[in-house]
Structure 1
Amino acid sequence: MSDPRPKGPGDSPVNPIPPLVLAIVAAMAAAEAVFQLGARGLAGGPEAIGWRISTIQQFGFSNRAMTWMLETGQLRIDYLVRFVTYPFVHASLLQAVFAIVMTLAIGKFVAERMAGWAVAILFFASSIFGALVFGLIYPDGPGLIGGFPGVYGLIGGFTCLIWLQLGAIGENQMRAFVMIGVLLGLQLIFGLLYGNNFTWVADIGGFVGGFLLSFVLVPGGMARLREKLQRR
Structure 2
Amino acid sequence: MFQKLPKSIVILAAIIGGIEFLFSLSESAPIFGLTGEDLRLVAMRDFGFWNQIFTAQISTFNIINKESIRLFTYAFIHVNFVASVFSVVFTLAFGNLLARYANDLQIIAFFLVSSFFGALGYGFLLDESFPLLGSSPGFFGFVGGFIFLLALQYLEGKKEFDGFFAVPVFL
When normalised by structure 1's length, the TM-score is 0.65
Distance in 1 (alpha carbons) for counterparts of 2:45 and 2:139:
22
SS in 2 for 1:61: coil
Report Cα offsets for 1:72-91 as digits up to 9, x if no partner.
Answer: 00135331011111111001
Are 1:47 and 2:34 counterparts? yes
Question: Which deviates more, 137-146 or 169-178?
Answer: 169-178
Shift of 1:164: 2.9
SS in 1 for 2:124: helix
| Contact kept in structure 1, 2:114 and 2:138, CA below 8 Å | yes
Give the counterpart of 1:115 among 103, 111, 115.
103
Distance in 2 (alpha carbons) for counterparts of 1:99 and 1:73:
33
Mark the CA change 1:159 to 1:141 in structure 2 (over 3 Å): closer, same or farther: farther
SS in 1 for 2:63: coil
Extract unaligned runs of 5+ from structure 2: none
Give the counterpart of 1:175 among 159, 165, 168.
165
- The amino acid of 1:147's aligned partner reads S
Mark the CA change 1:76 to 1:164 in structure 2 (over 3 Å): closer, same or farther: closer
Distance in 1 (alpha carbons) for counterparts of 2:119 and 2:167:
22
SS in 2 for 1:81: helix
Are 1:135 and 2:126 counterparts? no
Which consecutive aligned stretches of 4+ in structure 1 deviate over 4 angstroms post-superposition? 169-174
Mark the CA change 1:172 to 1:23 in structure 2 (over 3 Å): closer, same or farther: closer
Other-structure match for 1:97: 85
- The amino acid of 1:48's aligned partner reads T
Report Cα offsets for 1:95-135 as digits up to 9, x if no partner.
Answer: 00100001011111111111111011000000000110111
Distance in 1 (alpha carbons) for counterparts of 2:53 and 2:43:
16
Are 1:79 and 2:81 counterparts? no
Distance in 2 (alpha carbons) for counterparts of 1:176 and 1:131:
30
SS in 1 for 2:26: helix
Mark the CA change 1:174 to 1:141 in structure 2 (over 3 Å): closer, same or farther: farther
| Contact kept in structure 2, 1:163 and 1:174, CA below 8 Å | no
Distance in 1 (alpha carbons) for counterparts of 2:86 and 2:148:
22
Extract unaligned runs of 5+ from structure 1: 1-12, 183-232
Over the aligned positions, Cα root-mean-square deviation in angstroms equals 2.6
Question: Which deviates more, 94-103 or 75-84?
Answer: 75-84
Distance in 2 (alpha carbons) for counterparts of 1:175 and 1:70:
40
- Report sequence identity in percent: 27
Report Cα offsets for 1:159-186 as digits up to 9, x if no partner.
Answer: 213323444357989937718x83xxxx
Shift of 1:47: 3.1
When normalised by structure 2's length, the TM-score is 0.86
Task: Map 1:81-230; keep pairs closer than 5 Å.
Answer: 81-167=69-155, 168=157, 175=165, 178=168, 182=171
Distance in 2 (alpha carbons) for counterparts of 1:157 and 1:44:
37
- The amino acid of 2:109's aligned partner reads I
Distance in 2 (alpha carbons) for counterparts of 1:62 and 1:17:
33
SS in 1 for 2:49: coil
Q: Which has the larger radius of gyration?
A: 1
